[in-house]
């Protein structure tokens, strides 16, 4: 459910992870020797401000729990675990987002990348772009890509880069749909944020 930013987001005890899981996550990142620290995530992590006359946020995603997100973004900025990449599902659309230390300041440091993937068949055929995506791109400079087709995200890792290929189909409501790469983004080793290839 979407709402305008409100005090309830900052209510004491409001958490998306819970303190025990948050501590476990940050401790694991702090000790990780991995070149790419990949976090599997169920709901949109980046800020997703949308609207026309009134701007709203999705309160059932990380936007509804800014203290947890701020703690994670601050940790990524200060402790600098290598190449944090978040893989997110549960959206039925494709997104590429820079994760920012402060989403309200577009010039704040980029501390990681979020690759959010679509559904394979839910929500029907889909479209290349949609009003939701166009609106979101206009209000969120950290969002680099939106697509509303069906498909999946193929990820390839090498010592030099993490590559995400957004593979989509023009239809899923009948057999034999062709599949193609709609867009590709990389995170270069040691350089936070996604770059289109």
- Per-residue pLDDT of 148-180, as tens digits, reads 999 999 999 999 999 999 999 999 999 999 999
Number of separate domains in the chain: 1
Q: Strands 84-88 and 110-116, how do they pair? A: parallel
Residue 10 structure tokens:
């900052």
Whether the pLDDT of residue 12 is over 80: the answer is no
- Per-residue pLDDT of 114-137, as tens digits, reads 999 999 999 999 999 999 899 999
Residue located via tokens 């590429």:
96
SS3 178: coil
Query: What contacts 71, CB < 8 A, 6 or more positions away?
Result: 22, 26
Percent helix, strand and coil across the chain, each to the nearest 5: 20, 35, 45
Q: If you average pLDDT over every residue of the chain, what do you get?
A: 95
CA dihedral for 12, 16, 20, 22, sign (positive or negative): negative
| Separation between Cα atoms, residue 21 and residue 66, nearest integer Å | 16
Query: What contacts 28, CB < 8 A, 6 or more positions away?
Result: none
Burial of 195 (0-12, 13-18, 19+ CB in 10 A): middle
CATH of the domain at 113: 3.60.21.70
CB count in 10 Å sphere of residue 69: 20
- Per-residue pLDDT of 31-78, as tens digits, reads 999 999 999 999 999 999 999 989 999 999 999 999 999 999 999 999
Expressed as residue numbers, the domain containing 11 is 2-196
Which residues are bridge partners to 145 per DSSP?
A: 96
Which residues are bridge partners to 97 per DSSP?
A: 114, 143
Q: What confidence score (pLDDT) does residue 8 get?
A: 76
- Tell me if 38 sits within 8 A of 87, measured CB to CB: yes
């Amino acid at each position: 459910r979407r709402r305008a930013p409100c005090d309830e987001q900052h209510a004491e005890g409001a958490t998306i992870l819970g303190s025990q899981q948050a501590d476990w996550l940050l401790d694991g990142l702090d000790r990780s020797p991995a070149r790419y620290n990949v976090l599997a995530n169920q709901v949109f992590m980046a800020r997703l401000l949308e609207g026309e006359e009134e701007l709203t946020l999705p309160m059932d995603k990380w936007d509804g729990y800014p203290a947890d997100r701020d703690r994670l973004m601050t940790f990524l900025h200060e402790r600098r675990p290598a190449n944090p990449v978040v893989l997110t599902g549960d959206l039925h659309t494709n997104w590429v987002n820079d994760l920012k230390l402060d989403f309200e300041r577009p010039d704040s440091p980029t501390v990681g990348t979020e690759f959010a993937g679509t559904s394979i068949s839910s929500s029907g055929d889909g479209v290349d772009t949609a009003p939701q995506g166009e609106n979101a791109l206009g209000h969120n400079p950290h969002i680099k890509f939106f697509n509303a087709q069906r498909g999946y995200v193929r990820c390839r890792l090498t010592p030099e880069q993490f590559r995400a290929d957004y593979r989509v189909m023009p239809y899923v409501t009948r057999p034999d749909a062709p599949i193609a790469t709609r867009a590709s983004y990389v995170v270069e080793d040691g350089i936070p944020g996604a770059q289109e290839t």
